[in-house]
């Protein structure tokens, strides 16, 4: 019997896609499903970005380009960071990638090897522990606790660091909880990373989707930035999930390895998509503000409805587009409740345990569908929950 390697075995099936496929199967058999499982904006890519793509194709930007990414895009990213964060970034320290996921892989592969440890927050986007293991290292969780609003307790982080630790992964605003790292948190993380000479991989893909003060970026903390891979992209901000474009801002020592990883794995990132992204960055950001305004309205309604259900409670997320609700009072495992909701009520949500041990007892709802659908989904869930004999009320 031929064996699949441990590296590939370390990679999980994507829970959102699994649930989506199951929902699709039910739909093919006639079911009506409310989709609250997939984390992608339901809005169209803004028309000026689509137009810029067509122009780029028509003007011949259809060939291989620099593996690091086209200069115009790297300059536009640097200019945007300067205007939003007030920080100068050299475009030569930026690498463009086909989506953010490659940055997670390249970051882990460039900084970790067997015997090392990489830290991730639990619950987490499943790719974080997966890429750490894929690189041959041990994935060490730091718990994010629901009773603390899923804020990272920096003392837990301090305790997780050992002489083998090489990398801390961060994600703010956070998938699945919507929590945001504060300036104080980032100062302590900076001190820990410097003291132990660690790399930090900071996934800031939801940086533009927030409902209070703008979340701080690792890039604003000079000592932290020197040792950080700061990643963001176009998927969520500009509704460009299918276009596949992300980027990393890198410490000087990681630029050349990243370019080699890109060149060897994908040659380069889609050329005409990069030119369209220049238009996304250099045009008005009103489309982003409009989208976030709609997410905020949906968030408020969704969280309110969840909090009114017996056995369910939900903190208000500060960013991203997920509500992570505590359903432990419903008296069923999260996986079983998710199954019942999908199969018996046509509501697709994700079991929190798919995001790690600390997600057990929670469900993740992506509010990336219309208000009408959210209300329909909540009506159905309320009905299911209130009929359950196991639910604890009061």
Ligand X SMILES: Cc1ncc(COP(=O)(O)O)c(C=O)c1O
Residues that bind ligand X (CB under 6 A): 39, 99-101, 125, 171, 175, 203, 205, 233, 235, 241, 246
Query: How far is the C-alpha of 268 from the C-alpha of 259, rounded, in Å?
Result: 9
Phi, psi of 319 (to 5 degrees): -160, 180
In the complex, least distance from residue 246 CB atom to ligand X, rounded to whole angstroms? 5
Sign of the CA dihedral running 64, 135, 37, 178: negative
In the complex, least distance from residue 258 CB atom to ligand X, rounded to whole angstroms? 16
Phi, psi of 213 (to 5 degrees): -70, 150
Burial of 387 (0-12, 13-18, 19+ CB in 10 A): exposed
Neighbours of 172 (CB within 10 A): 28
Query: How far is the C-alpha of 93 from the C-alpha of 209, rounded, in Å?
Result: 25
Give 14 or 79: the residue with its C-beta nearer to ligand X: 14
Give 330 or 366: the residue with its C-beta nearer to ligand X: 366
The single residue listed with the structure tokens 């948190």 is: 185
In the complex, least distance from residue 197 CB atom to ligand X, rounded to whole angstroms? 26
In the complex, least distance from residue 109 CB atom to ligand X, rounded to whole angstroms? 16
Q: Using CB atoms, what's the residue nearest to ligand X?
A: 99
Give 243 or 275: the residue with its C-beta nearer to ligand X: 243
Q: Would you say 217 and 204 are in contact if contact means Cβ atoms under 8 Å apart?
A: yes
DSSP codes joined into one string, 281-305: HHS--HHHHHHHHHHHHHHHHHHHH
Give 118 or 246: the residue with its C-beta nearer to ligand X: 246
In the complex, least distance from residue 98 CB atom to ligand X, rounded to whole angstroms? 8
Give 152 or 332: the residue with its C-beta nearer to ligand X: 152
In the complex, least distance from residue 180 CB atom to ligand X, rounded to whole angstroms? 13
Give 175 or 228: the residue with its C-beta nearer to ligand X: 175
Can you say how many angstroms the Cα of residue 50 is from the centroid of all Cα atoms in its chain? 24
In the complex, least distance from residue 104 CB atom to ligand X, rounded to whole angstroms? 7
Give 14 or 343: the residue with its C-beta nearer to ligand X: 14
In the complex, least distance from residue 100 CB atom to ligand X, rounded to whole angstroms? 4
Query: Which candidate, 11, 19, 45, places its Cα nearest to that of 366?
Result: 19
Give 272 or 321: the residue with its C-beta nearer to ligand X: 321
Sign of the CA dihedral running 273, 275, 277, 283: negative
What size, in residues, is the chain?
394
Tell me how far CA of residue 270 lies from CA of 207, 279, 351, in angstroms.
23, 15, 34
């Amino acid at each position: 019997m031929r064996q699949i390697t441990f590296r590939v075995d370390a990679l999980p099936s994507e829970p959102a896609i699994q649930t989506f496929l199951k929902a699709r199967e039910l739909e093919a058999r006639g079911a009506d499903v409310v989709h609250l499982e997939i984390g992608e904006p339901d809005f169209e890519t803004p028309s000026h970005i689509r137009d810029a793509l067509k122009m780029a194709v028509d003007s011949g930007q259809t060939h291989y380009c620099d593996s690091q990414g086209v200069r115009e895009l790297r300059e536009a990213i640097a200019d945007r960071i300067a205007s939003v964060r007030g920080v100068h970034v050299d475009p030569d320290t930026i690498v463009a990638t086909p989506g953010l996921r490659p940055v997670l892989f390249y970051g882990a592969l460039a900084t970790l090897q067997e015997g090392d440890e990489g830290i991730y927050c639990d619950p987490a986007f499943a790719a974080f522990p997966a890429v750490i293991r894929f690189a041959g290292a041990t994935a060490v969780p730091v718990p994010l606790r629901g009773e603390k609003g899923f804020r990272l307790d920096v003392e837990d982080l301090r305790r997780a660091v050992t002489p083998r630790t090489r990398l801390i992964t961060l994600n703010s605003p956070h998938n699945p909880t919507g929590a945001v790292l504060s300036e104080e948190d980032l100062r302590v993380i900076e001190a820990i990373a410097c003291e132990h000479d660690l790399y930090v991989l900071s996934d800031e893909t939801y940086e533009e989707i927030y409902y209070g003060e703008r979340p701080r970026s690792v890039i604003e903390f000079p000592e932290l930035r020197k040792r950080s891979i700061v990643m963001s992209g176009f998927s969520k901000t500009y509704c460009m999930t299918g276009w596949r474009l992300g980027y990393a801002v890198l410490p000087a020592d990681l630029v050349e390895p990243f370019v080699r990883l890109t060149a060897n794995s994908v040659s380069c990132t889609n050329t005409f998509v990069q030119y369209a992204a220049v238009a996304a960055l250099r045009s008005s950001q009103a489309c982003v503000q409009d989208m976030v305004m709609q997410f905020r309205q949906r968030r408020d309604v969704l969280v309110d409805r969840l909090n009114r259900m017996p056995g369910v409670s939900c903190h208000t997320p500060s960013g991203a587009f997920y509500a992570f609700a505590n359903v432990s009072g419903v008296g069923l495992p999260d996986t079983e409740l998710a199954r019942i909701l999908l199969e018996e009520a046509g509501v697709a949500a994700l079991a929190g345990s798919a995001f790690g041990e600390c997600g057990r007892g929670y469900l993740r709802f992506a509010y990336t569908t219309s208000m009408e659908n959210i209300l329909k989904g909540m009506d159905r869930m309320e009905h299911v929950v209130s009929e359950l004999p196991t639910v604890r009320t009061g």
